Amino acid sequence: MALTPDDVVTKQFQHVRFKDGFDPDEVDDFLDEIVIEWRKALEENVELKAKLAAYESGAAPEAAAPAAAAPVAEVPAEPAPTGSAT
C-alpha cells in the first residue's frame, strides 16, 4: 500500500520516558508542512495527467495551445526625434 498524506497526519509514535528525543510539537509542525506540500504535488500530478490524456487523445484544451498560434499585433516604432529642441 502506498503512503498517503493522511498516513502522515494520523501517524502516532510511542512516547519514551527518560530518553532524549525530539520536540513533539516541532515534529508535528514539520509533518504538517510536508502534508501540505505533498497534497499540492498530488493535485498537480492529477491535473498534469488529465492534460496529458487530453493532449494524447487529440482533445487538448485551447489554453494548452502554443502562444505562437495566436496572432500578434505589431507595435509601430516611435518616430525618431528631430534634432531641434527649442
12-70, pLDDT tens digit by residue? Answer: 777 777 777 778 888 888 888 899 999 999 999 999 999 999 999 987 555 544 555 55
pTM over 0.75: no
Q: What pLDDT, on the 0 to 100 scale, is given for residue 22?
A: 79
Q: What pLDDT, on the 0 to 100 scale, is given for residue 86?
A: 47
C-alpha 85/C-alpha 62 separation (Å) is 51
Angle, CA of 56, 57 and 63, to the nearest 5°: 75
Q: What pLDDT, on the 0 to 100 scale, is given for residue 79?
A: 54
Q: Indicate whether 7 pLDDT > 70.
A: yes
